[in-house]
């Protein structure tokens, strides 16, 4: 279930980053760096905060402080106020031919997150309920982006600059609407044990949907006033940029910050390695459950799974529960099972009576390997456990 919730966070993270990229692609409001810097930071924030929320309040506080510090360093270093002025005065249609969502560097991060979600799905989520429905929604969203972008390319080859602005606005609103609908519909397929996790994704989709009309109004506002997209601007960094398009200015500023992208790639790889390592450790711990500590952790999970599946193996459930309670009883008496010790060796060490030892071992092995246990065998097992407890009490006296 933890892997399923984590995939849900990655999935919604991809949606928020995709919506943000489309909105910024539409108006280009003076972000003087490649858009993937901001989008990646936002995505990592979502993942870190949702992960820390599951761990506890202290993790949330530490994660929040960490993100605030990183955010202040990144944004205060990268943003130059004069470039924001250039971006506001820079019209979408006049420079669209140099800026393509399917080829811009910022798109690499968006598609990397989507493909990363797909990879994570294949590794950790493919066997979970509803997994294929989520995968279908993800592919639908990818298909919508590709189809609409190609449709815009075809239309733009026959349109003038002013017409391109209007068509771009219409197509983008249409795309965001469809993506929002599919994303919101996918929430019904997610197994969300915590309401906050579901609300996080829904709020993100709603913000992306509600923000698009305002962004389009802003485009039309500057378009109607005939703002000069190549207006000269004075800057404190490198003198004057005269008659330069925004993408040239942005590239000049962002060139020295490629380290951020490299750092993000390293962090992503580390996260993947940690996830794989954790999965390996979990599977190993599940199979090597010979010691008392591992048994006490695994048995409640096994009991819960059996209860949720069917009543067919109710007897197996009773046997496992009785054995777990017997483990706890022996632990109090300082007769707990040692690390690497088999059940037979354990019973021999605590000097369990031979009369009941055979029955217990036989029935417990049946329950352990998933064979059906009859009511009579359950009764015999519990009776044998009581006899061993009585034997231990007499021996202690």
CA distance 108 to 36: 8
pLDDT tens digits, the chain, 397 residues: what are they?
A: 455 555 555 555 555 554 555 444 444 444 333 444 444 555 555 555 555 555 565 665 665 566 555 555 444 444 333 333 333 333 333 333 333 433 444 444 445 555 555 555 555 555 555 555 555 555 555 555 556 556 666 666 666 656 665 666 666 556 555 555 554 444 444 444 444 444 544 554 555 455 545 555 554 555 555 444 334 333 343 444 344 444 444 444 344 444 544 555 566 566 656 666 666 666 555 454 444 454 455 455 454 554 445 555 677 778 888 888 888 888 887 787 787 788 788 888 877 777 677 777 888 888 777 777 777 888 888 888 888 888 887 776 6
Q: Which of 261, 263, 229, 221 lies closest to 248, judged by CA?
A: 229
Q: Which of 34, 32, 59 is nearest to 47 (CA)?
A: 59
Same domain, 124 and 237: yes
Same domain, 99 and 72: yes
Domains of the chain: total:
2
Q: Are residues 250 and 343 in the same domain?
A: no
Beta-strand ranges (E) seen in 124-237 are 233-235
Residue range of the domain that includes 84: 2-283
Are both 269 and 298 inside the same structural domain? no
Residues 223 and 182 in one domain: yes
pLDDT in tens, 251-284: 443 444 445 445 555 665 666 566 666 666 665 5
How many CB atoms are closer than 10 A to CB 317? 20
pLDDT digits (tens, 9 = 90+) for 112-125: 555 555 555 555 55
pTM for the whole structure? 0.26
- Dist CA 301 CA 392 (whole Å): 29
CA distance 378 to 315: 6
């Amino acid at each position: 279930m933890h892997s399923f919730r984590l995939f849900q966070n990655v999935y919604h993270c991809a949606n928020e980053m995709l919506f943000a990229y489309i909105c910024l692609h539409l108006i280009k409001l003076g972000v003087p760096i490649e858009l993937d810097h901001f989008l990646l930071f936002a995505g990592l924030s979502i993942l870190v905060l949702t992960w820390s929320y599951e761990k506890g309040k202290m993790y949330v506080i530490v994660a929040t402080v960490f993100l605030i510090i990183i955010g202040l360093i990144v944004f205060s270093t990268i943003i130059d106020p004069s470039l924001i002025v250039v971006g506001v005065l820079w019209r979408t249609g006049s420079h669209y031919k140099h800026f393509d969502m399917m080829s811009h560097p910022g798109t690499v991060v968006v598609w990397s997150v989507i493909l990363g979600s797909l990879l994570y799905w294949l590794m950790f989520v493919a066997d979970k309920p509803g997994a294929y429905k989520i995968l279908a929604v993800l592919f639908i969203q990818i298909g919508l982006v590709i189809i609409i972008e190609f449709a815009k390319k075809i239309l733009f080859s026959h349109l003038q600059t002013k017409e391109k602005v209007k068509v771009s606005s219409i197509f983008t609103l249409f795309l965001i609407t469809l993506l929002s609908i599919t994303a919101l519909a996918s929430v019904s397929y997610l197994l969300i044990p915590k309401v906050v996790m579901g609300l996080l994704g829904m709020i993100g989709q709603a913000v992306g949907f509600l923000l698009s009309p305002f962004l389009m109004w802003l485009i039309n506002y500057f378009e109607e006033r005939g703002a000069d997209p190549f207006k000269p601007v004075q800057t404190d960094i490198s003198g004057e940029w005269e008659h330069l398009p925004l993408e040239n200015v942005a590239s000049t500023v962002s060139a020295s910050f490629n380290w951020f992208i490299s750092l993000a790639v390293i962090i992503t790889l580390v996260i993947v390695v940690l996830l794989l390592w954790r999965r390996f450790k979990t599977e190993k711990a599940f199979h090597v459950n010979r010691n008392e500590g591992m048994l006490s952790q695994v048995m409640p999970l096994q009991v819960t799974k059996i209860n949720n599946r069917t009543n067919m193996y109710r007897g197996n459930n009773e046997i496992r529960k009785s054995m777990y309670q017997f483990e706890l009883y022996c632990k109090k008496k300082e007769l707990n099972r040692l690390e690497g010790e088999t059940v037979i060796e354990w019973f021999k060490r605590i000097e369990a009576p031979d009369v009941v030892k055979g029955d217990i071992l036989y029935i417990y092995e049946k329950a352990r390997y998933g064979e059906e246990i009859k009511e009579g065998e359950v009764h015999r097992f519990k009776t044998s456990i009581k006899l061993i407890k009585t034997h231990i009490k007499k021996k202690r006296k």
